[in-house]
Amino acid sequence: MAAGALPRRSLSGVLVAGAIAAGKTTVAELLAHDIDADLVKVRVALAEVLRISERDRTQLQERGADLDKRTNGRWLLEYLELQLEQSNSSVVVDSLRTKRQTIPILEHHPSMYLVYLDARLATRSARFNESRGLDPVKSSMAFAEAMRHPTETGVTQLRDMAHLVIDTDDLSPQAVVAEVRGRFNL
């Protein structure tokens, strides 16, 4: 789709953003299943667009930052609109990392809701370390190193843009999904 072109149909659904290891992927997967929406993983989308492995966090972050800059974040909007042509109009996106990615989607699809997940640093560190053996991207670097990357430090800017902010420290993923569904009548 050409830059600036309006979509033929509008996307509806939830954009999930938040701090590293706040529970974004688990919540996005459960939510997509619960509301019968397509799950779009930004990590996979980025790897497809860049034609690189989704397992290399450093490459994803570095080349993704360059792609965001070159396209002003519109690459993700265009990717989602291509997906829309092949599926239904309801999506859950796991997970937005930059304002550049988020703003075009929210501007072109007002029926999308941005949900920001957060948790205390100690909780996120423990979750990150617990999942390292299951997630090749997380196993590629330590939590402290991942936290220092500009993409991770910049994701906090999305908190102020969010329609809903949820602290996941003391909530099960199912409780977070229930809160999202209740807030947006999904």
Mean pLDDT of successive 10-residue segments in the chain (186 residues)? Answer: 49 93 96 95 94 80 89 94 79 93 94 96 92 73 82 89 97 98 94
Q: What is the pLDDT of residue 136?
A: 67
Are the beta carbons of 19 and 127 closer than 8 angstroms? no
Query: Which tokens is 44 given?
Result: 């996979």
Q: What is the pLDDT of residue 1?
A: 39
pTM of the entire predicted model = 0.88
Rounded to the nearest 5 percent, the helix, strand and coil shares of the chain are 55, 15, 30
Q: What is the pLDDT of residue 137?
A: 67
d(CA 1, CA 35): 27
Give the residue from 129, 123, 122 showing the smallest Cα distance to 170.
123
Are the beta carbons of 100 and 73 closer than 8 angstroms? yes
Q: Where are the domains of the chain?
A: 12-184
Q: What is the pLDDT of residue 2?
A: 44
**Architecture of the domain spanning 12-184:** 3-Layer(aba) Sandwich (3.40)
